[in-house]
Amino acid sequence: MSRAVLAAVMPAPHRPVEIREFREPELPPGGALLRTALSEVCGTDVHLWHGRLSGVPYPIIPGHVTTGTLDQIRGDLHDVAGDVLREGDRVAFFDVHRTCGRCLACTAHRTPTRCPSRRVYGITDSATEGLFGGWSQKVYLEPGVIVAKLPAAVAFDAYIGGGCGLLTSVHIIERAKLSLGDTVVVQGAGAVGISTAALARRSGAGKVIVIGGPGDRLALAGRMGADAVIDLDTTTPAERLERVLAHTGGLGADVVVEAAGSARAFEEGVRMARNGGAYVIAGHYTNVGDSTINAHEHINRKHLDIRGCWGSEVGHFLRALRALERHADLPWAAIGAKTFGLSAINEALEIAGALKIPKALVDPWQ
Ligand SMILES: [Zn+2]
Ligand SMILES: [Zn+2]
């Protein structure tokens, strides 16, 4: 007889999240069940709640990045290196699954994050199909899902403090093609911005400047690696540009990263990059409207390289684990400012939506 599992279900946009009882699934060969230790409430979950993402198969169990222990395995389960995974192992899994490996995006274009078959736990998997999200006491890991052991130095709260924002940041650093000594401006002091500041610093940046707010997030950005911070709430766009120019000898930054999700941030960011610099757009995960820039002044004449950054790949997930292990001294866990049980998820969404804390965590056993 399979046991009962409690999960928080988002029935539809703008509707309260409710706790529902599921049954543990019958595992197929190669399938596993994860006992959730921690999941998170990220910006995506707030977007899901506000109905800002298209093609979401509500009802869903949100929580796309999750960590815990392997509760049950049927048959053999291996990590990507071929090492055997066992019940009781502390693991994380890559939330993206069913990437086909055969389509144009996967093969010729080498953009697997744009594969049309791709599905994501907690976002594009419906609760009608089972336990496909981390706001649940247990998560079904279907055959083929990439599972990795957490390094001994990485606690559950450090992994989830980094969470999806850290995976995105690993991708951002790759897209930014940083050179030693580069000055990097990060627009946004949310989970993505803070992790990007940390990784830019450890990737050899000469100076990392974070623009955002409120003050406690900027303070955390400083602890994670920002050399300078600019408070969005107490400065004008002209003052922010002036500050960036002052930090860069009047030249502008080598690399600007947009992790703010604001159309105005893009307009500011192109002005902050130096001639021949690069601008990585990672925060426009939903449509926040049009930006107005002058292509002559800010792109063509400037010889600016603008790069999008969409989703993450297995390599980003694996490298995020290595980064957490190598930089275990950083306060990753502090990004996950507060932990909520399933019955308090609506409150967690309100707080996350109001941007009161960088990230809320979910402990479904609390
Ligand atoms: Zn594909
Ligand atoms: Zn997320």
Encode pLDDT of 112-152 as tens digits.
999 999 999 999 999 999 999 999 999 999 999 999 999 99
CA of 303 to the centre of ligand 2 (A): 33
Question: What is the average pLDDT across 170-189?
Answer: 98
CA of 163 to the centre of ligand 2 (A): 7
Ligand approaching nearest to the C-alpha of 39: 2
The alpha carbons of the chain give a radius of gyration, in whole angstroms, of 20
Query: Strand pairing partners for 255?
Result: 184, 278
Q: What percent of the chain stands above pLDDT 70? A: 100
Predicted confidence (pLDDT) at residue 78 exceeds the cutoff of 90? yes
CA of 95 to the centre of ligand 2 (A): 10
CA of 243 to the centre of ligand 2 (A): 31
Ligand approaching nearest to the C-alpha of 48: 2
CA of 251 to the centre of ligand 2 (A): 34
Ligand approaching nearest to the C-alpha of 362: 2
| Selection from 335, 312, 283, 291 nearest residue 44 by Cα | 283
* 314-326 vs 156-176: helix crossing angle, rounded to 10: 120
Q: Peptide bond before 25: cis, by omega within 30 degrees of 0?
A: no
Instruction: Check residue 78 and report its DSSP letter.
Output: B
pLDDT of residue 356: 79
CA of 362 to the centre of ligand 2 (A): 13
Residue 260, token pair as written in the block: 């703010």
pLDDT of residue 284: 95
Predicted confidence (pLDDT) at residue 347 exceeds the cutoff of 90? yes
Question: What is the average pLDDT across 82-108?
Answer: 97
CB < 8 Å & 24+ apart, contacts of 215-218:
217/189, 217/190, 217/358, 218/189
Contact yes or no for 230/222 (Cβ under 8 A): no
CA of 268 to the centre of ligand 2 (A): 25
Ligand approaching nearest to the C-alpha of 163: 2
Encode pLDDT of 58-72 as tens digits.
999 999 999 999 999
Contact yes or no for 340/366 (Cβ under 8 A): yes
Encode pLDDT of 286-299 as tens digits.
899 999 999 999 99
Q: Peptide bond before 116: cis, by omega within 30 degrees of 0?
A: no
Question: What is the average pLDDT across 163-187?
Answer: 97
Predicted confidence (pLDDT) at residue 1 exceeds the cutoff of 80? no
Ligand approaching nearest to the C-alpha of 313: 1
